[in-house]
Structure 1
Amino acid sequence: MARVRQVSEHGAEGGVERVYHELRQTLRVTGVDVSLRTWAAYPRFFVAMWEAMGPNVETRAFEEAALGLWQEVLDSTVQWEVLGAWNAAKLGKSQRFHARGALELCEAMHPRVLLMVSAVRMALEGQLVGQADALGTSERLERGIPSRMAAMEWVVEKPADPALRSLFADIVKTVGPPGVPGEYRALACWPSYLETAWRRLKPRMKDEDFQQAADRLLESARRRARGLPYPVALSRERVAALGENADAVLKVTQALERRSPALLLNLSRMVQDVPDMLRQPMPGASRLVPDWVAAEELR
């Protein structure tokens, strides 16, 4: 597919900038993922997407669906051979601390993003997504980024280093478009670790059990998205009415969903390769607000 522009956080303006802020606060992460930045290249769609998805994303039900999906990912890979990249890479103590923080950020963010992508893809294809609950009736989570979450730091998608640029090209060729996935750009801050990990991850992706696990995760993400509490009011007709290219939006959303299960399986292998790393490290707290406040926010 043709290269799709991404909107950086520094380059975001207007409605996109507002949605970026709300995404960080609601997902409780320190940055905006590649998938979301790719959607933001279609700004009117992006704002409409968040209006449709936001009420679900802030609920306990969404949190539990994403955590359940991530647990499935971990269970799928726990019996696979140990990756061994963490011990093989030549990293100092400080480098390991920061690389570990990057992995924690990714495991907190990417299952949630896949759930969003699957919900949006199905809605754009005319499928019913979400239940018929009345807005405001599902338990919500407190917004805000955990103080101990690592900052999102990435290497540019076209780095000056030829070896890293070649590695990025191989990653995209293997996992599919659009663009270099955010976790690999983050881990490229430690090139020797990323190169070691990718050299061990790539061969496994060709195995039948890997493909079967990815297929199961994709179906699980779709099932969990259908069970979200609120209807996702989004369609290709609405996207077109907003003046966006609905076919292009659907195509890029399908591509993002298609590669996400494999990326999650690889992320799981890297996470489980780090000694004593917590699973589900930053759960959300209940949002304790009076009913009248919640009602006012929905107006």
Structure 2
Amino acid sequence: MAEINLSNLARLKPATIPQINPLPEYLATDRLHLIYEDTKSVLQVPWMGVVTMAFAHYQNFYDTLWGGLRDLAGSAEFIAACRALRSHTEQQATSFGSARISDDLKSMGYSDREIDDVREQIEIFSHGNMPYVLIATAARLLLEDFSLSSTKLCTPFKGRHGPTTSNHLTLIEAHHADAPTLSVYEDIKATLGLPFVNTDYRALARWPSYFQLAWSNAKPHIQTAAYEDAVTSIHDVAVKQVLSLPNPAGLSAKSLKAAAAKDAPIEEIREVVRLFQWLLPGLVTNIALMQHQLRL
């Protein structure tokens, strides 16, 4: 196994973006539907992230990954790690001094209630992205032959930690979007160097004028040296957390790689995992920036 050293797991964007094949929730049937519902229930999130839907394309791989992480994901230790990661992310985002846009939205005609609806939507992702970061990080560690903890004991979390909301996700897909929103989507892909637009952005595009303003205010911070330092620090915190968390199911690199090999060449799956483990720290930073834009 690789020595536990952060320098051995630098944040890494694949040289060539691999093809991803996320299976949407509405197309998941039978057994996969049950796995999707179980994932959302344990994580207390209202959506399957593109990351886990892309992983689920490799059935044996995701069965073993989720099966090995399920008890951990429902533990007090995991929830504490998610909260700490979120706190660190938001501290990094506030350091950029992003513009406050609430007054601009009111000038455009947004009511306080509408702005609160946007805040509520952002809260869904601010909470829910953290477990996805840790899951992707665990997957990459294992596929690159790191060992998780040998400690199996963890404490089941009882109660509600996810946001209580009636504000369901309404995703504005490209074929739904008007020309200005499509332009923002293309700008996001070009700025981030990705061929797709994450769920978070498609959900926030439900309010097109807000979305355009929020992105235009967040974009100048992206690809700066300060931004890269912040995103790298989030990656580093996530790696340290995953390596220090319990491993109640004894998930190992050997078992995960053996499962993955049944689905596709290991390198193919490893590149997909690297892609998401690279992009998620940037995504959570951008969502934190958008949260900070709506500060009271």
Q: Does 1:74 align with 2:94?
A: no
Please name the residue that 1:25 is paired with. 41
Deviates more, 1:183-192 or 1:146-155: 146-155
Q: Does 1:49 align with 2:65?
A: yes
Which of residues 87, 99, 102 in structure 1 aligns to 2:121? 102
Give the CA RMSD over aligned residues.
Answer: 2.1
Deviation at 1:177, TM superposition (A): 3.0
Please name the residue that 1:202 is paired with. 219
Please name the residue that 1:273 is paired with. 293
Structure with larger RCO (C-alpha < 8 A, sep 6+)? 2
2:30 maps to amino acid: G
Work out whether residues 260 and 266 of structure 2, in 8 Å CA contact, stay in contact via their aligned partners in 1. Answer: yes
Q: 1:157 to 1:7 in 2, by over 3 A?
A: farther
Deviates more, 1:32-41 or 1:158-167: 158-167
Please name the residue that 2:262 is paired with. 242
Distance in 2 of aligned mates of 1:15 and 1:172: 33
- Number of paired residues? 273
Q: 1:160 to 1:193 in 2, by over 3 A?
A: closer
Q: Does 1:117 align with 2:136?
A: yes
Deviates more, 1:6-15 or 1:110-119: 6-15
Distance in 2 of aligned mates of 1:178 and 1:59: 34
Distance in 2 of aligned mates of 1:232 and 1:111: 20
Distance in 2 of aligned mates of 1:212 and 1:160: 33
Work out whether residues 147 and 253 of structure 2, in 8 Å CA contact, stay in contact via their aligned partners in 1. Answer: no
Deviates more, 1:82-91 or 1:113-122: 82-91
Work out whether residues 232 and 281 of structure 2, in 8 Å CA contact, stay in contact via their aligned partners in 1. Answer: yes
Work out whether residues 52 and 234 of structure 1, in 8 Å CA contact, stay in contact via their aligned partners in 2. Answer: no
- TM-score, normalised via structure 2 length: 0.84
Work out whether residues 58 and 263 of structure 2, in 8 Å CA contact, stay in contact via their aligned partners in 1. Answer: no
1:105 maps to amino acid: I
Q: Does 1:218 align with 2:235?
A: yes
Work out whether residues 49 and 234 of structure 1, in 8 Å CA contact, stay in contact via their aligned partners in 2. Answer: no
Deviation at 1:142, TM superposition (A): 3.0
Deviates more, 1:226-235 or 1:209-218: 226-235
- Contiguous gaps of at least 5 residues in structure 1: 277-299
Distance in 1 of aligned mates of 2:235 and 2:209: 31
Which of residues 84, 92, 99 in structure 2 aligns to 1:83? 99
Distance in 2 of aligned mates of 1:270 and 1:24: 24
1:40-70 CA distance string (max 9 Å, x none): 2223322222112112111111111111111
Q: Does 1:166 align with 2:183?
A: yes
Deviation at 1:74, TM superposition (A): 1.4
1:228-258 CA distance string (max 9 Å, x none): 1004334563134423342222111111111
Deviation at 1:146, TM superposition (A): 5.3
Deviation at 1:163, TM superposition (A): 2.4
Deviation at 1:272, TM superposition (A): 2.0
Please name the residue that 2:201 is paired with. 184
Q: Does 1:229 align with 2:274?
A: no
Deviation at 1:182, TM superposition (A): 1.5
Distance in 2 of aligned mates of 1:40 and 1:158: 25
